[in-house]
Amino acid sequence: MLQDDLKLSHVAARVLADLTGIHVCMIAALAICVLHPGLISARMQLRPEDAVHYYVSVFLFLSLLFPGVFLLTGLYTHSGREGSRMVSLFRGVALSLLLFSIVSFALYRRQQTPQGYIALFCGLAVFSLALPRLVKAALQQKFQAKSAAIVRRPSSDETVLILGGAGYIGSCLVRKLLAAGRKVRVMDSLIYGDYSLHDVIGHPNLQLQVGDCRKLQDLVAAARNTDAIIHLAAIVGDPACELDPQASREINYAATRMLIEVAKGNGNCRLIFSSSCSVYGATDLLMDEYSDVLPISLYAQTKVDSEEALLEAHSADFHPVILRLATVFGLSYRTRFDLIVNLLTAKAHSEGTITIFNGTQWRPFIHVQDVANGICQALDAPLDVVSGETYNLGDSRMNFTLAQLAERVLAEFPKTRVEYVENADRRNYRVSFEKIYNQIGFECRWTLEDGIREIKRAFESKFITDYRDARYSNLQFLKLCGTPLCKDELDRHLIAALTNAPAPARRSAAIWAPSTGAVRR
């Protein structure tokens, strides 16, 4: 709420600054015409009373036109990189000045007001609106370079704990950290097996602890002598969570609450939590970290509740960092084919037909290697920058509708038949990733096309043969084997108490109703 207020006041300040600039330019242009008519053109002669009359008559129009057009052209929203913000600026300024010139010319052509002043006003307005923004962008860039340069240097003795390190994302991250010379401890209950870590088990800098994050003793042992925690362990995906809602809430939410207490007791200051952009649910707006969340599934609700618990626990000694991941794609050491880019590519290759449900819906995408890069950047970023912050992890250039995704799959598999179908899935979110770009300089290196081609090659080289194998799908695997239960009685009581305890005050505009799966407002 506080953040929303800040955002509103930020926009209000920008509107006020632009309005002041516009009026100063208008007054300056009229003053020049009165005081130095021959300065620019002989046709700029203006009497003081005409100037005052003219200014009073256009005051309201001027005050409404510029902020209105700027608002409509997206100048006051957070979308886009610095470059596209500049494009919005010039589009907004050009359109406003054009409209203003047309209206002025139409209304005042028979009066004493010289038309030359309009050109003068336009010149001054462009200068006054663009210059402060250009200076700000230059300063921001300088600041960014500085903050990127003061990346924390990890000591070689630091051990990073990865909960869920044997999963799709974790298995890439483990290798990235090992390659960077870091000591890594993985704790994972190995629901899907340990094959994703086979070739690194035995690495001198890797410890593997098989354990359940709902079990207090396992968490305490895992967190001992570690400096930072990356929390990836979860039942991942909407359908997988719905299989056993109680177990999903225990693992995805209650275990996070237990972890917070263990981490605080252990002195682990930095805890990176993998949330999801699915917290934004169904919306046509461009969502940033200050937007209201709208979880429309149990999975998304557990992420929102965990985020709240983590932010509530934020203190001078405990520094949660929340990363809301875009939808992941690409090959990993535990590749998943229950993710849309991977699945469509596999189907296009294996069956020659793909089905697109609700093609106009938006999703942000990110390659699994980029996720690992982003987590490493969050791990090494200065604590005073990232502590207690929430970031969307992705790249503003990687928002696509599902129909656009289908086009990219088609480009690689031109003979594919595409079926467009509508169903009840309402998930639709387009996300701004400006904050993570501006604050820690994160941007994606992998495009959608790169990921599609990578998977295509994996099929062509027979590295992957049957994408329908249950090990590639959380839902299919859990249907076969069941969601693991919490075995120890004491842990069961503890985790039940944490699961049922009310989550901290929610920021969400709507919450998921467990009994019906419907959204309550």
Ligand X SMILES: NC(=O)c1ccc[n+]([C@@H]2O[C@H](COP(=O)([O-])OP(=O)(O)OC[C@H]3O[C@@H](n4cnc5c(N)ncnc54)[C@H](O)[C@@H]3O)[C@@H](O)[C@H]2O)c1
Q: Which amino acid would we find at residue 329?
A: F
Alpha-carbon distance of 322 to 29, in angstroms, equals 50
196: tokens are: 């994703």
The minimum distance between CB 192 and ligand X, in angstroms, equals: 6
The minimum distance between CB 160 and ligand X, in angstroms, equals: 15
Cβ distance to ligand X smaller for residue 293 or 325? 325
Q: Which residues between 70 and 129 bind ligand X (CB under 6 A)?
A: none
The minimum distance between CB 142 and ligand X, in angstroms, equals: 33
Only one of the segments 65-73, 94-102, 187-195, 286-294 lies at the binding site for ligand X (rule: CB under 6 A); that segment is 187-195
Judge whether 216 and 258 are in contact, CB under 8 Å: yes
Alpha-carbon distance of 204 to 300, in angstroms, equals 37
Alpha-carbon distance of 233 to 230, in angstroms, equals 9
β strands within 304-383, DSSP E: 319-325, 327-329, 353-357, 362-367
Only one of the segments 45-53, 328-336, 413-421, 427-435 lies at the binding site for ligand X (rule: CB under 6 A); that segment is 328-336
The verdict on 305 binding ligand X (CB under 6 A) reads no
Alpha-carbon distance of 262 to 267, in angstroms, equals 9
The verdict on 306 binding ligand X (CB under 6 A) reads no
* Cβ neighbours, 10 Å, residue 88: 18
Q: Which amino acid would we find at residue 276?
A: S
Q: Which residues between 205 and 234 bind ligand X (CB under 6 A)?
A: 212-214, 232-234
Judge whether 268 and 185 are in contact, CB under 8 Å: no
Q: Which of 334, 408, 427, 430 binds ligand X (CB under 6 A)?
A: 334
Alpha-carbon distance of 155 to 391, in angstroms, equals 25
The verdict on 429 binding ligand X (CB under 6 A) reads no
Cβ distance to ligand X smaller for residue 373 or 474? 474
Sequence-distant (≥ 6) Cβ neighbours of residue 177 within 8 angstroms: 160, 162, 184, 376
The minimum distance between CB 151 and ligand X, in angstroms, equals: 23
The minimum distance between CB 217 and ligand X, in angstroms, equals: 13
* Cβ neighbours, 10 Å, residue 387: 17
The bridge status of strand 390-393 relative to strand 319-325 is parallel
Sequence-distant (≥ 6) Cβ neighbours of residue 120 within 8 angstroms: 29, 32, 33, 40, 44
The minimum distance between CB 56 and ligand X, in angstroms, equals: 56
Q: What share of the chain is helix, strand, coil (3-state, %, to 5)?
A: 55, 15, 30
Cβ distance to ligand X smaller for residue 113 or 274? 274
Cβ distance to ligand X smaller for residue 239 or 382? 239
The verdict on 395 binding ligand X (CB under 6 A) reads no
Cβ distance to ligand X smaller for residue 30 or 251? 251
Size of the site for ligand X (CB under 6 A): 28
Cβ distance to ligand X smaller for residue 152 or 468? 468
Judge whether 378 and 319 are in contact, CB under 8 Å: no
Only one of the segments 37-45, 126-134, 154-162, 165-173 lies at the binding site for ligand X (rule: CB under 6 A); that segment is 165-173
The verdict on 495 binding ligand X (CB under 6 A) reads no
The verdict on 188 binding ligand X (CB under 6 A) reads yes
Q: Which of 377, 392, 474, 508 binds ligand X (CB under 6 A)?
A: 474
Task: Give the contact letters, 238-277, x = binds to ligand X (CB under 6 A), - = no.
Answer: -------------x----------------------x-x-
Q: Which amino acid would we find at residue 214?
A: R
For residue 236, count CB atoms less than 10 angstroms from its CB and return exposed for 0-12, middle for 13-18, buried for 19 or more.
Answer: buried
Give the 3-state secondary structure of residue 431: strand
Cβ distance to ligand X smaller for residue 334 or 347? 334
Nearest residue to ligand X by CB is: 167
Q: Which of 129, 298, 313, 325 binds ligand X (CB under 6 A)?
A: 325
Cβ distance to ligand X smaller for residue 199 or 422? 199
Which stretches of the chain bind ligand X, using CB under 6 A? 164, 166-170, 188-192, 212-214, 232-234, 236, 251, 274, 276, 325, 327-328, 334, 336, 339, 474
